[in-house]
Chains A and B, each alone.
Chain A
Amino acid sequence: MGKRVNMEIKKTSLNKLHQINQAKFVEFAGYQMPIQYINGIIEEHKFTRLHCGIFDVSHMGQLFIYGDENLTNELEKIFPLDLKNLKQNNSKYSFLMNEDAGIYDDLIVTKIEEGYLIILNAACKDKDFEILSNLLDKKFKMNLDNSRSLIALQGPKSVEILDSIINGVVRLNFMSGKWFDFNNQKLFVTRSGYTGEDGFEISILNEKAEAFTENLIKKGARLVGLGARDTLRLEAGLCLYGHELDINKTPVEANLKWAISKSRLPNGGFIGSDKIMRQMQNGAKQLRVGIKPEGRLIAREKTKIFNEKNIQIGQITSGTFGPSVNGPIAMGYVDREFSKVDTKILLEVRGKKYPANVCGLPFYKKSYVKGVN
């Protein structure tokens, strides 16, 4: 079974720990990653919502770019962010785009003392590095750091568990991060995540990752696989690159206008700004929406969406069963005139059309921590 691949599959530093915990593995972006462990996706999902899940996201790219205000100026030509006014240790969700505002990748940018730390999707990181090196004309030192693992801790108990190991993380606000000293090493911890829960991402040296994770397990956290990561992020209405986002979609179409800093809009000056401003003025042809199928029907990616007159108006990009909302959920793109909440639509599954409704996002309400300080 499986594809014949000559290239050797990459493994993260936690691979052995995944095996010990009876992970089922899948190949994801060239890595052998756990899709689930012994308890299965639904239990892992619910455990994260109620307690604390540990996610190995070491396959994601950790790109350090070193520089001062010159780097800030150069990055503002690339990202639709107000980086000049971004405080040190604060993070922003953003995109790397082409001139047509097509999305190469979605990412998290954190301003650090030495410059910037950018977290990239696993499948995009090498290409992103190449694109950014060229755009920055090799003027700044860049390190796509594969000496570090990335561990996400998500769920309401995350803060209690992590603060008992790394004193002080309790004082981080959501979407901020900083270096912490821990056992004679430096960890970069951000309060962030992609599940709709409060939580942290911890960047740690590979050789320390396993012991650190074992410690988290001892404190009551449990390993959670990519399967539950997907149901969690979908319930939270968050995009997944390669599904909701790709090179043929713009941030406006993806309904991610909120991620474009308002101060950058009148003047543009970042890659893709012309297209974005045009779309914001004239409206995009299609928009990303939430979709709630009636009954228990699950509409998977590529399911065709029709209006009540049986004309195709769009396509599903992600669809599954949401364990916390206890029903099927989906996201997709529809023609703008059908993007209003409560619009009745039809989904074609296995040759038959089933009713569904356009709905607001997220499906599951977030509980991010703001304003701790």
Chain B
Amino acid sequence: MSEVKFSKEHEWITLEGDVATIGITKHATEMLGDIVFAELPEKGSNVEKDGTAGVVESTKAASDVYTPVSGEVIDTNQVIVDDPSKINEDPEGSAWFFKLKMKDSSELDSLMNKEEYDKFAKESGN
């Protein structure tokens, strides 16, 4: 599996061949608080880089989930829809959101590595 990359919208992405697995970062879940609702894109649908591809809601508010790359949704994680608290428990592991068949691997170039993201998250404070 490839190195984990991160977006400014607090998503993480890993790559296996041309299949990308995407979720939200631990930092994002800490900002959101207790997550109580998750909505994922439909399997078979196409999503565009930086477009919305789901929703998470905490007790406080709703937030859009964006996709850091374009592609076709080939799988979604029903476990987090049935029990959204799983997202708080293991955001960067078992609580992934969706898998994409990636369209253009050059879209990864603009994303951050772990060190860059940690710095970004710390500085932006949101």
Residues of A within 8 A of B (CB): 1, 35-36, 40-42, 227, 231, 296-298, 300, 320-321, 323, 328, 350
Bound form: Cα–Cα A323–B55 in Å: 20
- Min CB distance, A37 to chain B, in Å? 11
- The residue on A at minimum CB distance from B62 is A300
- Min CB distance, A60 to chain B, in Å? 21
Bound form: Cα–Cα A297–B58 in Å: 12
Bound form: Cα–Cα A67–B60 in Å: 43
- CB of B120 closer than 8 Å to a CB of A: no
**Contact code string B30-42 (vs A, CB < 8 Å = 1, else 0):** 0001101100000
Q: Is the CB of A40 within 8 A of B36?
A: no
Given A1-B126, A350-B55, also A298-B60 (CB < 8 A) = no
- The residue on B at minimum CB distance from A231 is B59
- Min CB distance, B65 to chain A, in Å? 12
How many residue pairs at the A-B interface have CB separations less than 8 Å? Answer: 39
Q: Is the CB of A40 within 8 A of B34?
A: yes
- CB of B84 closer than 8 Å to a CB of A: yes
**Contact code string B55-92 (vs A, CB < 8 Å = 1, else 0):** 10111111000000000000000000100100000000
Q: Is the CB of A41 within 8 A of B34?
A: yes
Q: Is the CB of A298 within 8 A of B57?
A: yes
List 19 other contacts, CB 8 Å, given A1-B126, A296-B81, A320-B59.
A36-B33, A40-B33, A41-B34, A41-B59, A42-B34, A227-B33, A227-B59, A296-B36, A296-B84, A297-B37, A298-B36, A298-B37, A298-B57, A298-B62, A300-B62, A321-B36, A321-B57, A323-B59, A328-B36
B residues within 8 A CB of A298?
Answer: 36-37, 57, 62
